[in-house]
Chain A
């Protein structure tokens, strides 16, 4: 690169600015209260999902017919259900199922959506039209309805629930990515890379994606919240996690029949869903505040 001219330095890529911005970002992140609350909740969730099995006082599948519908107590902090199963243990185990489904589903839809959005946004033309119109078709359906339809075709089960949720969220990732790509596509450093004769695929991955990553990260965090909700909804309808596995949505649906006799059966899994969705939402909102250049308070 001995021919590098001084003017090339002026078109330096934001993503190449070295370590300073990262440190700067971290400092701002720590100071952002919402983001920190979200991060704490998410870390706690991940911890529970990873080590909940060791913390759980009971086997979440073990039935105890001497303690049906036991209200919350020291022995059963969240009470027991209609089979005498410990709800605290089930909520802990449920965290792993919920997170697993959320991460895998969002992983699939994120990968697929980002690739599609990248290709559509960067290449433009008829490919853009084709991909985005197809995304519009998917986007036209209400999310849960589309997921139920996919489940009806694929059949019940937690694996299929992941696929269904993934399909539902592909268009969002595609749109967000495409939007971000369009905003950086015309920048000088991309033109420069083109001028240097780099392959379009290389430019996409090396130069476009890193600079469009902010909105994608925000979207990932928000989608994790939606995915947890979607899994709960599918399991609530009996399509997702199958008995006896404890999924929060399933527990909520089972608890619904006993709201009068044993409200704790529905309250605790409901709280678990609420708190974890809130955690990912806070994190996502915080990240958006910090990553969006328009709200950049530098």
Chain B
């Protein structure tokens, strides 16, 4: 008996360990995804590309889910008293998914490439304050800034657009299909329009609280399913474990199910009408304001999101510390008509609006806008395009108006700089306003909250008044997954992370 007991205890312990092991480790998560448009983090502007890269690339610093700055590839950092020099001490136990050790050279390489004018990256604005990067030793890197930049650390934490890449994938030309990073997964197969396959990065440095190596999952299969209702059926029928978007009309039904978890968080994001400021008659601010007065944002939000979004007239959600809630455009058709008369287009005009099949809510919003502008004689035609085509057309400026969203916006700078600064790559509307340009630079340098708030409040007012973006609503961040998916949370910063996810 005495001899048997230790044996039984050991057996029980092993069984428990085995159970725990089986519970967390292994398996493939099949996700209903949407089409990434290119995977070079410095070239793409597509939300689904960034979310794919989020599994592959890591940043020096990061935000936890409460928006606190936490270490990631950098263990610690110091900032000089004048705010111009940032010194990062890097982790020495990090390897890329190809097995090569990560060093300070990789940091310099990544950001030199991002900022190189030849790269023409639309994401360079995030780190424009960098003057030079010095590699002190393998695990120490220094950023010299040309000016004080209050949100600099936040920009370094702004997800996959600023993730560290391995130069090998640039040199062998796979950066746009299978970039190599230090993240929990690596891309093994990318078939545009069909699937992105990722495998566990066996060299991943991260561990959970018990010291078990992360990630738990063996693989991710990101199936590209463009249609929202098909995503829903795939989830309900068990074809996929997780879905990146949920058709809002199906929320009530999904909420009622036991086998599905609907995960919601506020999204630091906004939907808007982008107006081409270089095309008559939209180049006239009065015409843009007339449109802003003519639309009913409540109805647009209802039709586009079925009540999951919040109508807004400026970009920053009301729940944010940076909210301004500037709302000069209550629906007023008489005012809109008067503005059109002043602008010399009293009888209206023909206008294209470009939604995308990628986001069904953009098509619904465009249809409501079409109906709401009809009484003014503005004859709106929908120019619905497939996503890659849409992005191309937007990039060429070949549109009158479009409906789109900006996502993962953390600092007020994120809400305005790339979109509205003269000459920025992502300033697709061709907007230029010297006052705004100047304020945007000052906003980056100001350190006191109250002073910064005043600056951005003024920027917000200028942009809303110029109606270059006609803001519609702040969406919710909603994902749904099977009840056996554990260790996943819809994050407040909208980034999707499967590093601690497991299936049971």
**Residues in A lying within 8 Å of B, measured CB to CB:** 61-63, 65, 68, 82-83, 238, 242-244, 256-261
- A188 smallest CB distance to B (angstroms): 59
Of B227, B250, B363, B381, the contact of A260 (CB 8 Å cutoff)? B250
Instruction: Decide if B371 touches A61 in the complex (CB within 8 Å).
Output: yes
Residues of A within 8 A of B357 (CB): 238
Instruction: Decide if A82 touches B382 in the complex (CB within 8 Å).
Output: no
Which applies to chain A's interface (DSSP): helix, strand, loop or mixed? loop
B380-407 contacts to A, CB under 8 A, are 381-382, 384
- A120 smallest CB distance to B (angstroms): 40
Report if B176 contacts A (CB, 8 A).
Answer: no
- B412 smallest CB distance to A (angstroms): 32
Of A62, A65, A238, the contact of B384 (CB 8 Å cutoff)? A238
A261 and B253 in contact, given A61-B371, A65-B302 (Cβ under 8 angstroms): yes
Instruction: Decide if A65 touches B371 in the complex (CB within 8 Å).
Output: no
Contact bitstring B290-304, A, C-beta under 8 A = 1, else 0: 000000001100110
Report if B229 contacts A (CB, 8 A).
Answer: yes
User: In the assembly, what is the distance between CA of A258 and CA of B370, in Å?
Assistant: 21
User: In the assembly, what is the distance between CA of A135 and CA of B46, in Å?
Assistant: 45
Report if B367 contacts A (CB, 8 A).
Answer: yes
Instruction: Decide if B229 touches A257 in the complex (CB within 8 Å).
Output: yes
Residues of A within 8 A of B227 (CB): 257
User: In the assembly, what is the distance between CA of A257 and CA of B232, in Å?
Assistant: 10
Report if B218 contacts A (CB, 8 A).
Answer: no
- B77 smallest CB distance to A (angstroms): 48
30 A-B residue pairings within 8 Å (CB atoms):
A61-B371, A61-B374, A63-B303, A63-B368, A65-B298, A65-B302, A65-B303, A68-B302, A68-B303, A82-B249, A82-B303, A82-B364, A83-B364, A83-B367, A238-B384, A242-B381, A243-B370, A244-B367, A244-B370, A257-B227, A257-B228, A257-B229, A257-B247, A257-B360, A258-B249, A259-B229, A260-B250, A261-B249, A261-B250, A261-B253
B349-391 contacts to A, CB under 8 A, are 357, 360, 363-364, 367-368, 370-371, 374, 381-382, 384
User: In the assembly, what is the distance between CA of A258 and CA of B228, in Å?
Assistant: 11
- B454 smallest CB distance to A (angstroms): 37
Q: Would you list the 8 A-B pairs with minimal beta carbon distance, nearest first?
A: A257-B229, A65-B299, A261-B249, A63-B371, A243-B367, A243-B382, A83-B303, A258-B249
- B389 smallest CB distance to A (angstroms): 12
Which applies to chain B's interface (DSSP): helix, strand, loop or mixed? helix
Residues of A within 8 A of B249 (CB): 82, 257-258, 261
User: In the assembly, what is the distance between CA of A83 and CA of B371, in Å?
Assistant: 10
- B366 smallest CB distance to A (angstroms): 8
- A235 smallest CB distance to B (angstroms): 13
Residues of B within 8 A of A68 (CB): 302-303
Interface residues on B, range: 20 to 34
User: In the assembly, what is the distance between CA of A7 and CA of B111, in Å?
Assistant: 100
Residues of B within 8 A of A260 (CB): 250, 253
- B379 smallest CB distance to A (angstroms): 12
B236-268 contacts to A, CB under 8 A, are 247, 249-250, 253
Residues of B within 8 A of A61 (CB): 371, 374
With A65-B303, A242-B382 already in contact, 9 other A-B pairs whose C-beta atoms are closer than 8 Å = A63-B371, A65-B302, A238-B384, A243-B363, A256-B229, A257-B228, A257-B247, A260-B253, A261-B253
User: In the assembly, what is the distance between CA of A238 and CA of B227, in Å?
Assistant: 13
Chain B: CB-nearest residue to A64: B299
- B428 smallest CB distance to A (angstroms): 23
Residues of B within 8 A of A242 (CB): 381-382
User: In the assembly, what is the distance between CA of A61 and CA of B363, in Å?
Assistant: 16
Of listed B229, B249, B381, residue having the most chain A CB within 10 A? B249
User: In the assembly, what is the distance between CA of A62 and CA of B360, in Å?
Assistant: 21
Of listed B253, B370, B371, B374, residue having the most chain A CB within 10 A? B371
Residues of A within 8 A of B298 (CB): 65
Residues of A within 8 A of B368 (CB): 63, 83
Instruction: Decide if A63 touches B229 in the complex (CB within 8 Å).
Output: no
Chain B: CB-nearest residue to A61: B371
User: In the assembly, what is the distance between CA of A244 and CA of B381, in Å?
Assistant: 9
Residues of B within 8 A of A63 (CB): 299, 303, 368, 371
User: In the assembly, what is the distance between CA of A242 and CA of B363, in Å?
Assistant: 12
Of A82, A244, A257, the contact of B371 (CB 8 Å cutoff)? A244
User: In the assembly, what is the distance between CA of A256 and CA of B233, in Å?
Assistant: 12
User: In the assembly, what is the distance between CA of A68 and CA of B370, in Å?
Assistant: 18
- A183 smallest CB distance to B (angstroms): 49
User: In the assembly, what is the distance between CA of A168 and CA of B474, in Å?
Assistant: 46
Residues of A within 8 A of B303 (CB): 63, 65, 68, 82-83
Residues of B within 8 A of A261 (CB): 249-250, 253
Residues of A within 8 A of B360 (CB): 257
Residues of A within 8 A of B299 (CB): 63, 65
- A246 smallest CB distance to B (angstroms): 12
Chain B: CB-nearest residue to A259: B229
- B352 smallest CB distance to A (angstroms): 11
Residues of A within 8 A of B367 (CB): 83, 243-244
User: In the assembly, what is the distance between CA of A256 and CA of B370, in Å?
Assistant: 22
Chain A: CB-nearest residue to B370: A244
- B279 smallest CB distance to A (angstroms): 20
User: In the assembly, what is the distance between CA of A235 and CA of B357, in Å?
Assistant: 14
- B306 smallest CB distance to A (angstroms): 8
Of listed B298, B357, B367, residue having the most chain A CB within 10 A? B367
Residues of B within 8 A of A238 (CB): 357, 384
Residues of A within 8 A of B253 (CB): 260-261
User: In the assembly, what is the distance between CA of A65 and CA of B298, in Å?
Assistant: 9
Chain A: CB-nearest residue to B386: A238
Residues of B within 8 A of A243 (CB): 363, 367, 370, 382
- B453 smallest CB distance to A (angstroms): 35
Chain B: CB-nearest residue to A260: B253
Chain A: CB-nearest residue to B298: A65
- A79 smallest CB distance to B (angstroms): 14
User: In the assembly, what is the distance between CA of A256 and CA of B247, in Å?
Assistant: 12
Chain A: CB-nearest residue to B367: A243
Residues of B within 8 A of A258 (CB): 229, 249
- B230 smallest CB distance to A (angstroms): 9
Residues of B within 8 A of A82 (CB): 249, 303, 364
Of listed A243, A256, A261, residue having the most chain B CB within 10 A? A243
